[in-house]
């Protein structure tokens, strides 16, 4: 007769051992998740919260957006892109931003630090690129429109009823910089305002965090930001002016 081998059951772990194992497993998963979140935030994408109406209707107060951090160099940026950038020259001086108080304040800061919660503007701003390095940007033409390198543009993303600009300007964007404007032109302290009052309204490209590409919250506004490059499709390159 063949001897049948009986399978031995593994000894059952004690309750404390099972609890410890579950806690350890949760800890490992949490650490890996935080590592991935920090990695994504540092190199790939980062959430931000919109604090004002300067980009309405494209972006409104309390919208949450995702920013592509790989799109932060001249070769990856284009006219019409919506970008988040670090305050270049005290543009936010005097602006008060509300922050949670009590324990929520520290939870919020921790979540922002690891990339789980969106950052508010803080020392960041969000605007649309109108002029790239070398571009000649002016307003307004006889038709009341912006001109870039001598070509008029029609801007469908402007806030309804907003004029292209209520301030005249005529600038050439220096190398390594951008000319940016909010879509809600009458409610945006952008390159125009700072050029007029500080003499330098250009944003260094090195200050750009990345290009906004997704509006992720509120859920009823969830959408990918529209590609507006066609607005500038007939604008000649700066060197061809």
CB distance 159 to 183 below 8 Å: yes
**Cα(first)–Cα(last) distance of the chain, in Å?**
98
Distance CA(221)–CA(60), nearest Å, equals 10
Q: Which of these is catalytic: 54, 165, 188, 191?
A: 54
As a whole number of angstroms, the distance between CA 158 and CA 49 comes to: 20
Q: In whole angstroms, what is the distance from residue 47 CA to residue 112 CA?
A: 9
3-state helix, strand, coil in the chain (%, to 5): 30, 25, 50
3-class DSSP assignment, residue 92 = coil
Q: What letter would DSSP give residue 178?
A: E
Active site residue 7: no
- Give dist(CA 54, CA 64) in Å, integer: 15
Using alpha carbons only, how large is the chain's radius of gyration in Å?
A: 25
Local structure of 71: helix, strand or coil:
coil
196 catalytic? Reply is no
Of 52, 127, 147, 191, the active-site residue reads: 127
Catalytic residue annotation: 54, 127
């Amino acid at each position: 007769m063949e001897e049948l081998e009986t399978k031995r059951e593994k000894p059952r772990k004690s309750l404390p051992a099972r609890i410890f194992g579950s806690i350890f497993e949760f800890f490992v998963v949490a650490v890996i998740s935080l590592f991935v979140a920090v990695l994504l935030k540092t190199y790939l994408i980062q959430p931000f919260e919109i604090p004002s109406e300067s980009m309405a209707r494209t972006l409104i107060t309390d919208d949450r957006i995702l920013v592509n951090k790989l799109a932060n160099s001249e070769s990856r940026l284009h006219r019409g892109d919506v970008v988040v950038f670090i305050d270049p020259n005290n543009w936010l001086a005097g602006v008060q931003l509300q922050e949670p108080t009590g324990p929520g304040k520290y939870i919020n800061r921790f979540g922002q630090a690891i990339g789980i919660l969106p950052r508010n503007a803080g020392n960041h701003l969000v605007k649309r690129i109108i002029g790239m390095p070398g571009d000649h940007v002016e307003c307004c033409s006889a038709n009341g429109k912006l001109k870039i390198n001598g070509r008029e543009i029609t801007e469908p993303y402007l806030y309804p009823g907003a004029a292209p600009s209520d301030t005249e300007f005529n600038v050439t964007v220096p190398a390594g910089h951008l000319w940016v404007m909010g879509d809600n032109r009458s409610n945006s302290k952008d390159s125009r305002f700072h050029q007029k009052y500080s003499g330098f309204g250009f944003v260094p490209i090195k200050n750009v965090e990345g290009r906004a590409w997704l509006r992720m919250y509120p859920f009823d506004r969830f959408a990918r930001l529209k590609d507006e490059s066609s607005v500038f499709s007939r604008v000649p390159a700066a060197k061809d002016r």
